Amino acid sequence: MKILWICNLVFPEFCPSYGIRVSDVGGWMPSLLHLLRMKTSYDISVCVPIYDDYRRRDIEVAGTKVYAFDGGMDRDEIRNDFISEFKRIYEIEKPDIIHIWGTEYKHAYYAVMACKELGLLDRTVIDIQGIITFIARHYLDGIPESIITLHTCDKCNSYLIEEKNNYLSHSSLERKIYQMVRFVTGRTDWDLSCVYSINHQIKYFYNARVLREGFYDFAGKWDSGKCKKHSVFLSSAYYALKGFHLFIDVINELRQRFGDLSVVIAGPDPLQYDKKGERSEYGNYIEELLKENNLENITTFTGIIDESEMIERMIEANVFVATSTIENSCNSLCEAMMLGLPVVATYCGGLPSLINHNVDGFLYQSNASYMGAYYIGRIFEDNSLAERLSCEGTKTALNRHSKERILNNVVNMYDMIGN
């Protein structure tokens, strides 16, 4: 069976051939590709976005055919000629199944339109990542109106209201995608409810993500006796949806009880200026909050870190917290659970599908800082509780992210769609 993947990033193993920097984002896609290569006879080809004309070409890497499409289509106005790019690929590859990863970018719309024009919708499945149509509604949750409307940054490369409007502008295209397709695959009650509200006739296949290999190797390796006490680890705070502006109140409450509190935040640094000397309005707002609350010495932004450093940082921490105001699924949360690091998360989007409250983690209302501080404080103070959450978290993660189970789910889905 020939499978064609439409992806929103270039996999690390393809980057050298295109002469671009390796990204550690979206690791579940190359992880699943590797698993399918090892365990099935599927002929899988991959489409990736390439922005520079001189780099854009079709290649082959380790036996996998890689097609390049114009990454600029995600930024440009709607153009029907972009549909032809995918029609060209489909007509060359002649896939039995077209697997489109995510609907957050315009290329997904063009890819689906090409399927429609060639009569391939019955062979097309959307892999739900985030659903912009519903995420946009929560983009500015918890941010004061005065900050939303006032440009406080002398050199800002994006403003909060513009960022939300960019999400909203994509909503109509995304809705059309889900109205056209027959099949989707997802992993939370939230993404199921979202797609059903757009198209109740859609066929939904459940499947979890394959995690990065190192997290399976270090499953259950977190040790309460060796971690840094009263330390919190977050995997992202780069933009408003990650909810760090609300978590600052949690930090303030915890600091009153734990004088040696430390908070480490991975991912792109919202406080960092780019090459033009600019940063986002949100980064400016976060810096303001940190200074107002005298939290500069408590918080550390690591910048983007690779898989091995992520594992090291998590094993060193006392607790992992997912602070989002809305999110479908947090892979870093799942990775933390795999390691056995106790987890706390906001009750939003699909996160309640990942945590059994008071069994393998805690959930709290994102704008109720006292609840977040309470649950984190309990983990800090009760070592037996931390160890119980650790053990149960690893059990949950090993079951949910079982490679064998995920592989069987993918094979069953492909077989059902392909036949």
pLDDT at residue 400 above 60?
Answer: yes
pLDDT at residue 149 above 80?
Answer: no
Predicted confidence at residue 190, as pLDDT, reads 98
Helix (H, G, I), strand (E, B) or coil at 165: helix
Give me the CATH code for the 213-400 domain, please.
3.40.50.2000
Residues of the chain with CATH 3.40.50.2000: 2-155+168-209+402-418, 213-400
d(CA 266, CA 250): 18
CA 330-334-337 angle, to 5 degrees, is 140
Residue of 74 and 389 predicted with greater confidence: 389
pLDDT at residue 280 above 90?
Answer: no
Share of the chain above pLDDT 70, in %: 98
Share of the chain above pLDDT 90, in %: 87
d(CA 234, CA 227): 15
When the pLDDT of each residue in the chain is averaged and rounded to a whole number, the result is 95
Report, as an integer, the average pLDDT of 169-193: 97
Report, as an integer, the average pLDDT of 177-181: 98
Contact by Cβ (8 Å): 294, 318: no
d(CA 92, CA 58): 11
Total residue count of the chain as it appears in this document: 419
132-136 long-range Cβ contacts below 8 angstroms, 24+ apart: 132/103, 132/104, 132/167, 132/170, 132/171, 132/174, 133/171, 133/174, 133/175, 133/194, 133/198, 134/194, 134/326, 135/167, 135/241, 135/326, 135/349, 136/164, 136/167, 136/168, 136/171
According to CATH, the topology of domain 2-155+168-209+402-418 is Rossmann fold (3.40.50)
Helix (H, G, I), strand (E, B) or coil at 231: strand
Predicted confidence at residue 233, as pLDDT, reads 99
CA 79-81-82 angle, to 5 degrees, is 75
pLDDT at residue 157 above 60?
Answer: no
pTM exceeds 0.75: yes
d(CA 400, CA 256): 37
Q: Which stretch of 69-78, 114-123, 141-150, 359-368 has the lowest confidence by average pLDDT?
A: 141-150
pLDDT at residue 145 above 90?
Answer: no
Predicted confidence at residue 77, as pLDDT, reads 82
Report, as an integer, the average pLDDT of 174-200: 98
d(CA 141, CA 405): 36
- Taking only the tens place, the pLDDT of each residue in 39-59 is 999 999 999 999 999 999 999
Helix (H, G, I), strand (E, B) or coil at 256: helix
Predicted confidence at residue 154, as pLDDT, reads 55
Report, as an integer, the average pLDDT of 61-81: 91
Predicted confidence at residue 78, as pLDDT, reads 85
- Taking only the tens place, the pLDDT of each residue in 203-236 is 999 999 999 999 999 999 999 999 999 999 999 9
- Taking only the tens place, the pLDDT of each residue in 252-261 is 999 999 999 9
CB burial of 178-200 (b: ≥16 within 10 Å; e: otherwise) equals bebbebbbbbbebbbebbeebbe
Sign, CA dihedral 210-212-215-217, equals: positive
Predicted confidence at residue 150, as pLDDT, reads 65
Contact by Cβ (8 Å): 43, 26: no
Predicted confidence at residue 153, as pLDDT, reads 56
What DSSP element (H or E) covers 49? Answer: strand 43-50
pLDDT at residue 389 above 80?
Answer: yes
Q: Which stretch of 139-143, 175-179, 394-398, 403-407 has the lowest confidence by average pLDDT?
A: 139-143
